[in-house]
Amino acid sequence: MIHLDTEERLEVIAARVRLEKAVKIAVLATELDVSEMTIRRDLELLASQGVVQRVRGGARAVGPETFSERFGQHARAKDRIVRKLAPLIGEGGAIGVDASTTLQRLASVIGQSRDITVLTNGPDLFTALQSQPGVTPLLTGGQLDGRTGSLVGPLAIRSTRDFLLRRLFVSAAGIDADHGTTEVTLEEADVKLAMADAASEIVVALDHTKLGQRGSARCLDIDRIDVLVTDLDPADQRLEPYRRRCRLI
């Protein structure tokens, strides 16, 4: 086998991630005839350059996946998050819910509330709420991003600014204690920022694999987040960087 230098190996790995969407350390080490430690260092370097996103045992592509691709990922963690979110929904007034696959699962829980208006940029959530008694779903409008399943653009942003939301529920591509939440597209970040500007309280809900991860577009500063909901026990040490910055559930 021809041994590649570091630069060549990084190009091969980056191309593999773009093609296959995800790679495993053990597989790359075998195929490239280097140690797993070398592959880990390569992936860390590519992650620092924003080329890939590190995950346990490997890396995955940085960039938006389709809604259907994301919906089934980490299903148990997302269900655990939704159970934690249920008591926060409340009744009356208006809440905002983004188009994330995590919060799509809130539809059945929201249906247990009464006299509540739900503003969303997610067509799937909007459709799911149509048959829920006591719930008035409203869609922001805007341009559909087929990659993420969300409505984005100037119309989505403008319509959001006409509301006063008592609470906003959003997810994110990643979160860290220095940069707050991040998204994979600027358009997605812009809509969430507009929704946040209209909300009295901001609840960020995401599974633990997104802790310490960064997307390519900045969104919510950490100090804007009132509540952080994950699938972890609030006492888990992985949440330590966020403990003094927001309420953990």
- Quick one: pLDDT at residue 172? 93
Q: Which amino acid is it at 12?
A: V
Name all domains of the chain by residue range, CATH numbers in brackets. 6-61 (1.10.10.10), 68-248 (3.40.50.10470)
Per-residue model confidence as pLDDT tens for the chain (249 residues): 557 888 888 888 988 887 788 999 999 999 999 999 999 999 988 887 677 888 999 998 876 555 555 555 557 888 899 999 999 999 899 999 999 888 888 888 887 778 899 999 999 899 989 888 889 999 999 999 877 789 999 999 999 989 999 999 999 988 999 889 998 889 999 999 999 999 999 999 998 888 888 777 899 999 999 999 999 999 999 999 999 999 999
Yes or no: say if 90 and 72 are a contact pair by the CB < 8 Å rule.
Answer: no
- Mean pLDDT of the residues in the chain: 88
Given a contact cutoff of 8 angstroms between Cβ atoms, the answer to whether 110 and 90 are in contact is no
Strands (DSSP E) contained in the chain are 22-24, 52-55, 58-61, 94-97, 116-120, 135-139, 143-145, 150-152, 167-170, 174-176, 180-183, 202-205, 217-218, 227-229, 247-248
Q: What is the pTM for the complete model shown? A: 0.72
Q: Can you give the pLDDT at residue 148?
A: 77
What does the pLDDT read at residue 68? 52
As a whole number of angstroms, the distance between CA 107 and CA 112 comes to: 9
Q: How many CA atoms lie within 13 A of 120 on its CB side?
A: 30
Q: What is the pLDDT of residue 73?
A: 54
What pLDDT is attached to residue 126? 94
What are the structure tokens assigned to 227, written together?
Answer: 């509540």
The phi-psi region of residue 63 (left if phi > 0; otherwise alpha if psi is between -120 and 50; otherwise beta) is left
Amino acid 77: pLDDT: 84
Partners of residue 139 on adjacent β-strands: 120
pLDDT at 170: 97
